[in-house]
Chains A and B, each alone.
Chain A
């Protein structure tokens, strides 16, 4: 187990270094940052001054090493616009994004796993078909559309939105102008009900189908027949002997989806006016706030790396054979 952990940590570190180089490079080669910052009417002297002020005139590898060195000491630079430290900008928003992501994942798994097991046990019956319809519908619905429908139904039509922390005046414009009114850091749990429902709907179908496929395969395996020949209860056969084997690919998918939720819920954060990391990323890109953008980029990449590492460790914990390979 120790060897396994060390190998995975080394791989994770190599991936992190690669990602930081690629991320840093992409941003630098996307255009001349100094002239973008200086604006359209700037003179050549202005551009040169800005270039020097931000250290953009140095060779790119020096800039990279400088940035990495500072980052390792916890200094990610300052926002070009608000002049707040980037680490602070991210830390104040990560709470909102993480709450949203973990809650959506928990809700998604809580629905997907029992439903997937049920669909496999009742394969090819109306129960299975119903589960299939639910998952196809969930998969086919774009989440921004579903979010707007939720707002319309509960906010405009049923007028329940105050219960969930939104003022009616915010709602009636149907989200499109809400992006101007982020509730900075003041979101209560009620604000999360609709966004979590939206995101859980997005991730649930794939998890559910994967659980069903895995269970179907495992249920017809020899060792499940052995478990039944031992006279074990249906609960033990399904959840002790089958699910643990069937869940391995679901763990990996859930890790990828959590990464997607931590970095990719930009649209949902925008529609529901939650001031999370995704929202910050969009704002910073619009304003060419490159210290913030490159930090978020690397931050999200590291999130993925950590999650993949975790899913590998969980799988190794669940399946002794993984530890060997």
Chain B
């Protein structure tokens, strides 16, 4: 089921290596700490999934990697290493050489992500022409080639169409083809299937996986759907209120969820055979706290079954459950598991 054992290379140099990423956004009420101390790395042909509720900072994290944050956002990091180079302080001009060329991004809503006034062909070709100094003819050939790659049967005709003439699934395929024009090493996919029909969702995910193998891309997949994580990802980082609360291989995190939030999320999934008709489907009570101003202590404490006074006073660092599986809580995995059984027994 999971891909953790599918043999993605762990030893090679990571494509993207983010360390200590913080993003602060100025809002009228003060400074919003949208992302705090986020670190991860993704290797070639590997998929990392960023998971969390709306507003947990997963999209901001991905925009930070592309350096497409709004002007009101301030980014700091120990480093953001892309393909061995620290791009944290790259200028806008340096970044335009990377974007669309060596890193690509696809977005949630394919209905609004393509420019309505240009033909599909123009929108694909311009990427190749810009980054590869290619002629219009070469770019057109490349575009046809990629449309075939993303499973489009009649590329020549599709290239002359406008976005409004295509369905949502087709448009998302166009977006993928557009971002693969220059064979990027990293593809960031921000909820690429959320806006699509369920049947189309599966097709798009399968497509992403086969393209990943073919082009040996690193993928950062943003989603709130744990089913998608299980199907697609090698590694997963669970985010809550701007911080990673648990991360590790998909197998480790799903087999041994340690942070109370991760457990809560997994319990929200109905499972055939395990969730019987009379059982209540899990949910996590409460709401995400405001991230404006100084945040001390654990952000999850007001929704957590294990919370004690000490949780409000001390900031918690990520600590290991075991090698390459970390969580962010003051209590040990055993304490969390024990207390949990206690609750279950009541």
Binding site for B on A (CB under 8 A): 221-223, 225-234, 236, 241, 244-245, 318-321, 324
Is the Cβ of B116 less than 8 Å from the Cβ of A320? yes
- B99: which of A228, A241, A320 is its contact (CB, 8 Å)? A228
State in angstroms the CA–CA spacing of A33 and B175 once bound together: 69
- B115: which of A227, A229, A234 is its contact (CB, 8 Å)? A227
* A-B contacts at CB below 8 angstroms, number: 73
Of all chain B residues, the one with the shortest Cβ separation from A220 is B70
20 residue pairs A–B, Cβ–Cβ below 8 Å: A222-B109, A222-B112, A223-B112, A223-B116, A226-B178, A229-B66, A229-B68, A229-B100, A229-B179, A231-B127, A232-B100, A232-B126, A232-B127, A233-B130, A236-B126, A241-B115, A241-B118, A318-B117, A320-B117, A321-B164
Is the Cβ of B162 less than 8 Å from the Cβ of A320? yes
- A222: which of B99, B107, B131 is its contact (CB, 8 Å)? B107
Chain A positions within 8 Å of B179 at CB level: 229-230
With A222-B107, A225-B68, A226-B107 already in contact, the answer to whether A320 and B126 are too (CB < 8 A) is: no
Is the Cβ of A229 less than 8 Å from the Cβ of B104? yes
Of all chain A residues, the one with the shortest Cβ separation from B164 is A321
Of all chain B residues, the one with the shortest Cβ separation from A321 is B164
Beyond known contacts A225-B68, A229-B66: 13 more, CB 8 A cutoff: A222-B109, A226-B115, A226-B178, A228-B99, A229-B105, A230-B127, A230-B130, A231-B95, A233-B130, A234-B92, A245-B115, A318-B117, A321-B116
Is the Cβ of B100 less than 8 Å from the Cβ of A230? yes
Q: Which 3 A-B pairs have the closest CB atoms?
A: A231-B99, A231-B100, A230-B100
Is the Cβ of A226 less than 8 Å from the Cβ of B175? yes
State in angstroms the CA–CA spacing of A124 and B126 once bound together: 32
Is the Cβ of B107 less than 8 Å from the Cβ of A231? no
Find the residue from A222, A236, A318 having the highest chain B CB count within 10 A: A222
Q: B288 → chain A, closest Cβ, in Å?
A: 24
Chain B positions within 8 Å of A231 at CB level: 95-101, 127, 130-131
Is the Cβ of B105 less than 8 Å from the Cβ of A245? no
Chain B positions within 8 Å of A221 at CB level: 112
Chain B positions within 8 Å of A232 at CB level: 96, 100, 126-127, 130
Is the Cβ of A229 less than 8 Å from the Cβ of B99? yes
Q: Is B114 an interface residue (CB 8 A)?
A: yes
State in angstroms the CA–CA spacing of A234 and B66 once bound together: 15
Of all chain A residues, the one with the shortest Cβ separation from B104 is A229
In the complex, per-residue mask of B124-135: 1 if CB is within 8 Å of any chain A CB, else 0? 001100110000
Chain B positions within 8 Å of A225 at CB level: 68, 107, 113
Chain A positions within 8 Å of B97 at CB level: 231
State in angstroms the CA–CA spacing of A249 and B124 once bound together: 27
Is the Cβ of B115 less than 8 Å from the Cβ of A223? yes
Q: B281 → chain A, closest Cβ, in Å?
A: 33
Q: A317 → chain B, closest Cβ, in Å?
A: 10
State in angstroms the CA–CA spacing of A241 and B95 once bound together: 19
Of all chain A residues, the one with the shortest Cβ separation from B162 is A320
- A230: which of B118, B162, B178 is its contact (CB, 8 Å)? B178
State in angstroms the CA–CA spacing of A263 and B118 once bound together: 36
Chain A positions within 8 Å of B175 at CB level: 226
Is the Cβ of A222 less than 8 Å from the Cβ of B113? yes
In the complex, per-residue mask of B152-190: 1 if CB is within 8 Å of any chain A CB, else 0? 000000000010100000000001001100000000000
State in angstroms the CA–CA spacing of A318 and B118 once bound together: 9
Q: A226 → chain B, closest Cβ, in Å?
A: 5
State in angstroms the CA–CA spacing of A232 and B96 once bound together: 6
Chain B positions within 8 Å of A226 at CB level: 107, 113-115, 175, 178
Of all chain B residues, the one with the shortest Cβ separation from A319 is B117
Of all chain B residues, the one with the shortest Cβ separation from A224 is B115
Q: A323 → chain B, closest Cβ, in Å?
A: 10
State in angstroms the CA–CA spacing of A274 and B66 once bound together: 58
State in angstroms the CA–CA spacing of A173 and B89 once bound together: 65
State in angstroms the CA–CA spacing of A320 and B115 once bound together: 11
Chain A positions within 8 Å of B113 at CB level: 222-223, 225-226
Q: B189 → chain A, closest Cβ, in Å?
A: 12
Chain A positions within 8 Å of B95 at CB level: 231
Chain A positions within 8 Å of B114 at CB level: 223, 226
In the complex, per-residue mask of B39-68: 1 if CB is within 8 Å of any chain A CB, else 0? 000000000000000000000000000101
Chain B positions within 8 Å of A222 at CB level: 107, 109, 112-113
State in angstroms the CA–CA spacing of A103 and B269 once bound together: 67
Q: A133 → chain B, closest Cβ, in Å?
A: 23
Is the Cβ of B162 less than 8 Å from the Cβ of A233? no
Is the Cβ of B117 less than 8 Å from the Cβ of A244? yes
Q: B16 → chain A, closest Cβ, in Å?
A: 15
Chain B positions within 8 Å of A244 at CB level: 117
Chain A positions within 8 Å of B117 at CB level: 244-245, 318-320
Of all chain A residues, the one with the shortest Cβ separation from B95 is A231
Q: A321 → chain B, closest Cβ, in Å?
A: 5
State in angstroms the CA–CA spacing of A321 and B115 once bound together: 11
Is the Cβ of A320 less than 8 Å from the Cβ of B109? no
State in angstroms the CA–CA spacing of A247 and B96 once bound together: 26
Chain A positions within 8 Å of B164 at CB level: 320-321, 324
Is the Cβ of B109 less than 8 Å from the Cβ of A230? no
State in angstroms the CA–CA spacing of A144 and B262 once bound together: 72
State in angstroms the CA–CA spacing of A228 and B101 once bound together: 12
Find the residue from B117, B162, B175 having the highest chain A CB count within 10 A: B117
State in angstroms the CA–CA spacing of A319 and B119 once bound together: 11
Is the Cβ of B99 less than 8 Å from the Cβ of A230? yes
Q: B230 → chain A, closest Cβ, in Å?
A: 27
Chain B positions within 8 Å of A229 at CB level: 66, 68, 99-100, 104-105, 179
State in angstroms the CA–CA spacing of A318 and B82 once bound together: 39
Chain A positions within 8 Å of B68 at CB level: 225, 228-229
With A225-B68, A228-B68 already in contact, the answer to whether A233 and B115 are too (CB < 8 A) is: no
State in angstroms the CA–CA spacing of A320 and B117 once bound together: 6
Find the residue from A222, A223, A231, A324 having the highest chain B CB count within 10 A: A231
State in angstroms the CA–CA spacing of A142 and B1 once bound together: 74
Chain B positions within 8 Å of A227 at CB level: 115
